[in-house]
Structure 1
C-alpha cells in the first residue's frame, strides 16, 4: 500500500535585545505540534544575528522532534511493541523480532 502525506513545517523567529526566540510548528493535517527554542547573545560578543537565528531555530526543531518522538513512543507501546532492550542498542520493534 502506498501512502503519500504532506506535513508542513513553519518556523517563526523574533529577535529583541540580543535574544532570539523561535517557534517551530508542524501541521500534519490532523494535529499541530510546536517546539520552542531560544538563544541569547553574550553582551561581550559581536552581534551576528544569523548565529542567534540558527541556534534558536535548531533548538526549536530539536524540541519539536523530541515531542514527535515521544508521541511515536506512546503509540508504539499502545500497539503492543516496546523499545528494543538497551543491550541491543537503540531502536524499536516487536518483542519477538528483537529477541
Structure 2
C-alpha cells in the first residue's frame, strides 16, 4: 500500500523573564501535539539571542519527538503489539567496563 501524508511543525520562539522559550506544534491534520523547550543565558556569557532561539527550539523539538514516540507506544499497545525493548545505556570505554 502506498500512502503519502504531510504533517507540519510550527515553532514559536519568545522571550519571557530573561528566558527564551519555544513551542513546537505538530499538526497532523486531525490532531495537534505540542513540545516545549527553554534556554537561559549565563549572566557571564555574551547575550546572543540566536543561540537561545536554537537551544530552546531544539529542546522543544526533542520534547515533541519524545511525546510522539510515547503516543506511538500507546497506540501499539492498544492493538496488542509488544512493548519496545528496554533501552540499554550506551557505555563508552573498554569492553569489560560494563561487566
Q: TM-score, normalised by structure 2?
A: 0.81
Task: Give the superposition deviation at 1:16.
Answer: 4.3
Cross-structure match for 2:67: 67
Could you tell me which residue of structure 1 aligns to residue 26 of structure 2? 26
**1:8 corresponding residue in structure 2:** 8
Q: CA deviation at 1:79?
A: 1.0
| Distance of 2:12 and 2:54 partners within structure 1 | 12
1:4 aligned counterpart, secondary structure:
coil
Match in the other structure for 1:56: 56
Q: Which runs of 5+ in 2 are unaligned?
A: 89-99
Provide the alpha-carbon RMSD of the alignment.
Answer: 1.7
How many residue pairs get matched? 88
Unmatched segments (≥5 aa) in structure 1: 90-99
| Structure holding more strand per residue | 1
TM-score (norm 1): 0.81
1:42-53 to structure 2, matched below 5 A, reads 42-53=42-53
